[in-house]
Amino acid sequence: MPGLDYEYVKEILMKKGVRGLCLIVLLAVAGCAQIETVTRVKESPQEHVLLTPGLRDLYREAAIGADRIKALDGYADLYLKTPKRNAKAYCTVQLQKSRDARLIVTAGILGWPVADMLIRPDSLFVHDMLNNKMLVGRNNGENLGKLIGVQAGFGQLTETLFGMAGMPEPASAIESVRQGGGKVGFMVRSGSGKKEILVDSASKELEEITLFDSTGRRTVEFRFIGYQMQPAGEGQERMPKEIDMTLFRENEIEGSRSLRVVYDERIVINPPAFTITFRRPSKARTVNLDEVDHMPWL
């Protein structure tokens, strides 16, 4: 995607020091005030029904549709909410399903980059441009939580959070079905726990994924909202404009810990010959990510 010369911007940030940082914060606040969000009234099916051949086919078609997006290149706004703080950030998103993800966090209406992150299946690399640090660590729930502001022990967290959710469980893993209001909820066995997958029966699109641990406790929920057509290779594909993730923890008010991703129109799905390139800065000080509490942008 076209953007600023990041090397030039990094040089400016280093020269301006604190004054540059203050300007970035002010621009970030000004930019966030102009963002429109998508709202949604949750409607869950209530009636338990038998798994018919037609519902089994619906599950399979939704799984095929969810797997069409293999890569994306776009721009999104992030909204973080926890019991202690609310925060907003902007980022360029580059994602290859089951492979690498790159997030370039920018500040304000001028789009100055403040962090460049590479998320691999087993490792994390973060260039903190404001402090000229290179943070390196393992890709686990704790370290990933430091980058995005919330922790969730979920193997496909990054691609699900950014709209590339998969349905790898076969139809034979379905344990129960609920139906109503034009929606169908499939409860499936997944790893050591369970997963409820909500599908729109008319569009056959994935609308919600809820994870439960081995004790049956709900741990995390993803909602996929506002599907729209986006360029994809020589054609188009539908993907959600907004993805809402809510974490559920004991002794916390429901909905008090969440992260929302809202895409704008600048997004391309499955771009041809797409590669993700991340260059480690030569002069940045390397820091173990395990030793960092959280990142300043969220």
Q: From the CB of residue 7, how many other CB atoms can be counted at a distance below 10 Å?
A: 9
| Domain count of the fold of the chain | 1
Q: What is the CATH number of the domain that holds 46?
A: 2.50.20.10
Report yes or no on 49 lying in a domain.
yes
Report yes or no on 298 lying in a domain.
no
Report yes or no on 163 lying in a domain.
yes
User: Nearest to residue 163, comparing CAs of 92, 107, 242, 87?
Assistant: 242
Report yes or no on 297 lying in a domain.
no
Q: Check if the beta carbon of residue 58 is closer than 8 Å to that of residue 199.
A: yes
Report yes or no on 279 lying in a domain.
yes
Residue 154 is given by DSSP the state -
* Rounded Cα distance, 242 and 162, in Å: 9
pLDDT of amino acid 154: 52
pLDDT of amino acid 110: 67
* Rounded Cα distance, 259 and 148, in Å: 8
Report yes or no on 59 lying in a domain.
yes
Q: What CA–CA distances, in Å, run from 102 to 125, 168, 232?
A: 9, 23, 19
pLDDT of amino acid 140: 85
Locate 171 and state its tokens.
């139809």
pLDDT of amino acid 8: 40
* Rounded Cα distance, 57 and 55, in Å: 5
pLDDT of amino acid 86: 86
pLDDT of amino acid 253: 80
* Rounded Cα distance, 124 and 102, in Å: 10
User: Max alpha carbon distance in the chain (Å)?
Assistant: 66
Count Cβ atoms within 10 A of the Cβ of residue 240 and give its class: 0-12 exposed, 13-18 middle, 19 or more buried: buried
CA 69 to chain centre: 14
Report yes or no on 148 lying in a domain.
yes
pLDDT in tens, the chain (298 residues): 444 444 444 443 344 333 333 333 333 333 333 434 444 445 678 899 999 999 999 999 999 999 999 999 999 999 988 888 788 888 999 999 888 999 998 876 666 888 999 999 889 999 998 889 999 999 888 888 777 766 665 556 788 888 888 899 999 999 999 999 999 999 999 988 999 999 999 999 999 999 999 999 998 999 999 999 999 988 899 999 999 999 888 887 877 788 999 998 889 999 988 999 998 888 899 999 888 876 655 5
Q: Three-state DSSP class for 257? A: coil
Locate 51 and state its tokens.
């798994």
Q: In this structure, what are the phi and psi dihedrals at residue 239, rounded to the nearest 5 degrees? A: -150, 160
Q: Three-state DSSP class for 10? A: helix
User: Nearest to residue 83, comparing CAs of 257, 279, 289?
Assistant: 257
Domain that holds residue 72: 6-291
Report yes or no on 1 lying in a domain.
no
